[in-house]
Structure 1
Amino acid sequence: MDITQTQSWRQLQALAEQMHSTHLRDLFADDPARAQRYSLELPSFLLDYSKNLIDDGVFVNLLQLAREAEVEPWRDSMFAGASINRTEDRPVLHPALRGSIAAEVRWNGEPVAATVQAELQRLKEFVNLLHNGALTGCTGKPVTDVVNLGVGGSHLGPQMVIEALREYRKGAVDVHFVSNVDGAQLADILQRLNPETTLFLVSSKTFSTAETLTNAQSALGWLGSLASREELLSRHFVAVTASPGRARAFGIEAERIFRFWDWVGGRFSLWSAIGLPVAIAVGFEGFRALLDGAAEMDRHFREAPLEQNAPVLMALTSVWYCTFMGYPAHAVLPYDQALHMLPAYLQQAEMESNGKSTTRNGEEAAYATGPLIWGQLGINGQHAFYQYLHQSPAVVPADFIGSVAAGHELEGHHEILLANLFAQSQALMQGVSREAVMADLRARGLDEAEAAALAPFKVHRGNRPSNTILMKKLCPHSLGALVALYEHKIFVQGVVLQIYSFDQWGVELGKGLASALQPKLGSGDLSEEDASTTRLIEYYRRTVAVTAKAEEAAKAEAATRAEFTG
């Protein structure tokens, strides 16, 4: 089925034309119960989607679009373990990592749920040993610092969660993250650590990621002469991977290898052993609470009717804006310092999933798919890019995220924070009319001509849509529910837009080209490279050569000066 040929698709195209000339102020004025009707109260948070440019006609047709796209059968197939990631012939079973898959589901002969539970038990035992001081380096000193070496999903998720749950830290072991192959990041962290008490987690699904393995080799070199290579790898290294054979070939012992599976996408893997840094930072019980919160959202997604289903509603409004209304970007704006990494995490989760232009039937999509995701902490954004949100010709839908309870005990701060959250979504929705601006300027003492000259610059059109997610409290459980909410939103978007959300061939292309170019930086034939790449490499080679000659000359001069003065 071509989704663009459905009645609901054509109806939504027509409604989009009408909605461009509709203002949110009028929608609220015409329906006093709008905020109540277009909101959902879930156990962990309130979702207010009333400030979206939708009316009952749009709402009904979006729900019909979801049904015509077979969102419910696709959802059921995912939870049943069907191979819905068809370009890679794999199921999509990250909900199994938090206990949301039936016990009878199997993959490659393994009972998925039982296998997951067995690995979770291994994680629990490892974390307990670490917290009890029973895990030591090769000199017998207990581990005090853990460095996670990973990139993409192998670091963004765990780091985001640890930052969000700093209030819930347990134990005395500090967790650090290195993702960049730029040695400056690794060097900066290592200079603050003691080799005798440092443990490295090498987190890589394939255990072939060049950036991660390069950092692992450098970490091994930093440990230096504490012990033999074999002993260093056995006492100071742990692997988290879906390719345990490669981890063993690297030299990591089997009991120090924690497994996840190829049916877990990297950007959905924080619930697996990839979340080991989280379990270390907040304790295994905190990690379990995170999983339970996600499982709660899994149940809601599976059981709630579409019209009361939070991930479905968020997905449909996203499709409405990006595909029908022509708004290609979406901002994520947390009003909680602890969630400062959430925009970056969701950027990867959504854009790597739905940044596609090929439909499931192998044809070019004739419509816009997933939006560009961006954002940062709301308060910081207010003094940076909110000017663009308020008065630019572009319309950027946004998600405002906050919590009722503060994560600290400082008086007055949280009330100011929440007041700003509520005010900004209100201002984006309502705007300020020319008449209101003129009245304000007159009240300030400007005459009619002065007011008329200044007024155009102070008018805010408003009509900028947003969702608000207001958590009761940011804790492991509610954070798990929040992240799972977005995961299922991404899934529904992909189903409605008829794209495969769980492959990432664009990422693989760049990796392959980098591997081929790396040997050519030093020397080699560039005749098959494009002119720009050739020029860049030639400039690199020339600059390196000039720098090397200058360093040699400086060393020679220094040696001559030392000989003369001596």
Structure 2
Amino acid sequence: MINWKNLNELSSYQELGKVKPLDLAEAMTGQKGADRVGKYTVDMAEGLTYNYAAKAVDDDILGALAKLAEEAQLAEKFEELYNGAVVNTGEKRLVLHQLTRGQLGNAVEADGTDKRSFYIEQQKRIADFANKVHAGEIANAKGEKFTTVVQIGIGGSDLGPRAMYLALENWAKKTGTFKMNAAFISNVDPDDASAVLGSIDVAHSLFILVSKSGTTLETLTNQAFVMDALKKEGLDPAKHMIAVTSETSPIAHSADFLDAFYMDDYIGGRYSSTSAVGGAVLSLAFGPEVFAAFLDGAAAEDKLSTEKDLLKNPAMLDALIGVYERNILGFPSTAILPYSQALSRFPAHLQQLDMESNGKSVNRFGEPIGYVTGPIIFGEPGTNGQHSFYQLLHQGTDIVPLQFVGFRKSQIQNDVDIQGSTSQQKLCANVAAQIVAFACGKENADLNKNFKGGRPSSIIIGDDLNPKTLGALLAHFENKVMFQGFVWNINSFDQEGVQLGKTLAKAVLAHETEGALTEYSKLLNI
């Protein structure tokens, strides 16, 4: 039987707080540190490795975390989720994003449909459409091929797909799988849409409108902006636009679109990159085979996340170390630091994934909780971040746990040797140096140059960034966030916190305001 208890009601959590903390700087110094690097590591899917040697944990702490995982029934709760339980209590919905890439358990039926079959059907429809676009069978009014695809969406309809596209763009160009340029319009600020439209050949562009409800204000506003631009070019917008939406939305069967592909209410926006939301743009940009490989990588990592042994389940382990850092050590934030330019927008995606999921102060039953939950997430790719905010990370008054991501090879694979080493070797040297510098520090009588160390980090390492490793990386973080939500007994799958501002904005536009809202409206000339 599944018991949904608050974290502070678990005896294993109380015991965790009594375990002696690790002196990380001391543990990572000399041979002891070298031994830790080989010991504290676990294999992920697709050749990736999660190394947590530079985290402030030892065998005693890991033992206590294993007891917490068992008492919190993390493996059992994940099993409930993928077998179709109503885990999203706030909206009384199933949570099925893992089902877009594989069948982990029993068949799941909802709305009178086998959901795995539904997701496969949409993937096949998208693949067929993309292949016809690439072959020129679906073309513009003059019968010319589309060369650019533009996604119009916001939040999860933009951040994840944009991050995944950028992650694979250079890889696809190098491997010959690149089909179409992709661009993204998200912000309701007209400067965003204008800049994108000014940088593309509108006559040879295919636009994807992504809105589950078909009523998202920012997205529909940008749709109108794009339709106006198409009309000014003498083009029929309906011949240049497809939709990704729910089957019941007002745009699902509209004559304004060439075609429509469907998602459902069981996949939250921030979890939608492996659904039609990411599938349409990625299949058009790189080909359906590349999107299928991306799904395979995610499915393989999902399978690992079903493992009950904490030390063999990298997502669960990462999640519980994060809980230890947040709730026992009291660290309020986490930095995501990919040493890969291809992952330049990955921290922004993880920011939404984590903070929109676990930024909650009530439990899954709507009751106030008495402990902290999701951390503040931020990050930039290395080595840029080293010349930006690493000063605070090394010597600031707050300790910020770090999650590095690195690859042994670059995507371009035509690097040059400069001063005895390649650019990729220099990049990898920097991430190795940062891990040790953060953990061990360096004493100096001049306190301005003194590094205390004891700053914890982990790193996910792979040979190269490709569709399968990207899928595994994405699923790792999705499952990490899910497990942390289970531990904190919160609902990681709704986002009521985004609603109030939307409601008030509509009131402003309708001129139905009072008090301070009226005055701020005047200041902004609304």
The answer as to 2:297 corresponding to 1:312 is no
2:60 and 2:469 map into 1 onto residues whose CA distance is 33
**Deviation digits for residues 410-429 of structure 1 (CA, Å, limit 9, x no counterpart):** 12100000000000011000
User: 1:100 aligns to what?
Assistant: 103
**Which residue is equivalent to 2:65?**
62
- Cα distance 1:31–1:136, how it changes in 2: closer, same or farther (>3 A)? closer
Distance apart, 1:35 and its partner CA? 2.4
Cα distance in 1 for residues equivalent to 2:270 and 2:49: 26
The aligned residue for residue 501 of structure 2 is 510
Q: How does 1:266-415 map to 2 (within 5 A)?
A: 266-275=269-278, 276-303=280-307, 305-408=309-412, 409-411=414-416, 412-415=422-425
C-alpha distance after superposition, 1:293-350 (max 9, x if no partner):
0000011111352222100110001111111111000000011110111110100000
Larger mean Cα displacement after TM superposition, 175-184 or 356-365: 356-365
* Greater mean deviation of Cα atoms: 33-42 or 105-114: 33-42
1:243-285 CA-to-partner distances (Å, cap 9, x unmatched) read 45411465435x6000011111110111111111111112111
SS at match of 1:14: coil
1:150 and 1:179 in contact (8 A); partners too: yes
Tell me the distance in 2 between the aligned counterparts of 1:247 and 1:339: 33
Larger radius of gyration: 1
**1:483 maps to which of 474, 480, 485:** 474
Q: Once the 2 structures are TM-superposed, how far is the Cα of residue 59 of structure 1 from its aligned partner?
A: 1.0
Instruction: Assess if the C-alpha contact under 8 Å between 1:103 and 1:111 holds in 2.
Output: no
Cα distance in 1, alignment partners of residues 288 and 60 from structure 2 = 47
Determine if contact 1:103/1:112 at 8 Å carries over to the other structure. no
- Aligned counterpart, 1:423: 433
CA deviations on 1:406-453 (whole Å, 9 max, x unpaired) are 2121121000000000000110000002xxx3xxxxxxxxxxxxxx5x
1:458 aligns with 2:468: no
- Distance in 1 separating the partners of 2:488 and 2:106: 31
Distance across 2 between alignment mates of 1:354 and 1:329: 13
For residues 361 and 83 of structure 1, what CA distance do their matches in structure 2 show? 13
SS at match of 2:261: strand
Letter in 1 for 2:65: L
SS in 2 for 1:239: strand
CA distance in 2, matches of 1:171, 1:375: 28
Matched position secondary structure for 2:481: helix
Following the alignment from structure 2 to structure 1, what is the Cα–Cα distance between the partners of residues 272 and 42?
A: 28
For 1:536, which of 492, 509, 520 is the aligned residue?
Answer: 520
TM-score (norm 1): 0.86
Q: Deviations over 1:520-557 (max 9, x none)?
A: 2xxxx64xx333x332222233xx8xxxxxxxxxxxxx
Query: What is the rounded CA distance, in whole Å, between the counterparts of 1:304 and 1:127 in structure 2?
Result: 39
Instruction: Describe the shift of the 1:3–1:189 C-alpha distance in structure 2 as closer, same or farther (beyond 3 A).
Output: closer
Normalised TM-score (structure 2):
0.93
Q: Report if aligned partners of 1:240, 1:273 keep a CA contact under 8 Å in 2.
A: yes
2:14 is equivalent to residue 10 of structure 1: yes
Amino acid at match of 1:119: Q
1:239 aligns with 2:243: yes
**2: distance between equivalents of 1:172 and 1:31?**
46
SS of 1:333's partner is strand
**1:32 and 1:141 mapped to 2: Cα distance?**
60
Q: Which amino acid letter does the alignment assign opposite residue 41 of structure 1?
A: D
Q: Which amino acid aligns with 2:333?
A: A
Taking the aligned partners of 2:147 and 2:6, their CA distance within structure 1 comes to 56
Q: Structure 1 stretch 215-224 or stretch 27-36: which is displaced more?
A: 27-36
Q: 1:109 Cα deviation (Å)?
A: 1.5
Give the percent of matched residue pairs that are identical in Structure 1 and Structure 2: 35
How many angstroms apart in 2 are the aligned matches of 1:500 and 1:248? 29
Please state if 1:205 is matched with 2:212.
yes
Contact 1:138 1:227 in 2 (8 A): no
In 1, the alpha carbon distance for the partners of 2:172 and 2:505 equals 40
For 1:295 and 1:131, the matched residues in 2 are separated by 27
Q: Deviations over 1:158-209 (max 9, x none)?
A: 1101101112143542211000111111111212333332221101111111
Q: Which residue of 1 aligns with 2:143?
A: 140
Indicate conservation of the 8 Å contact 2:50/2:314, yes or no.
Answer: yes
Structure 1 residues 5 and 189: CA distance shift in structure 2, 3 A: closer
Work out whether residues 103 and 114 of structure 1, in 8 Å CA contact, stay in contact via their aligned partners in 2. Answer: no
Asked if structure 1 preserves the Cα contact closer than 8 Å seen for 2:347 and 2:378, the reply is yes
* Residue segments in structure 2 that go unaligned for 5+ positions in a row: 417-421
Partner secondary structure for residue 165 of structure 1: helix
2:184 maps to 1:177: yes
- Secondary structure of the equivalent of 1:393? coil
Cα shift at 1:30: 5.5
- Given that residues 149 and 285 in structure 2 are in contact (C-alpha distance below 8 angstroms), is that contact kept between their aligned partners in structure 1? no
| Cross-structure match for 1:119 | 122
- Alignment-derived partner of residue 501 in structure 1: 492
Corresponding residue of 1:194: 201
Whether the 8 Å contact between 2:358 and 2:491 is mirrored in structure 1 is: yes
Letter in 2 for 1:195: V
Residue type of the alignment partner of 1:530? G
Q: Which has the higher contact order (CA 8 A, sep 6+)?
A: 2
Distance 1:191 1:33 in 2: 55
Deviation at 1:352, TM superposition (A): 0.4
- For the residues of structure 2 that align with 1:122 and 1:103, how far apart are their CA atoms? 24
Aligned-partner residue type, residue 373 of structure 2: T
Measured in 1, the distance between the counterparts of 2:79 and 2:226 equals 44
Task: Note the C-alpha offset of 1:519.
Answer: 2.4
Query: What stretches of structure 1 of length at least 5 have no aligned partner?
Result: 438-451, 545-566
Indicate yes or no: 2:220 matched with 1:219.
no
Shift of 1:142: 2.3
User: Is contact 1:24-1:52 (8 Å) kept?
Assistant: no
Distance verdict in 2 for CA 1:303–1:13, change over 3 Å: closer
Aligned letter for 1:501? S
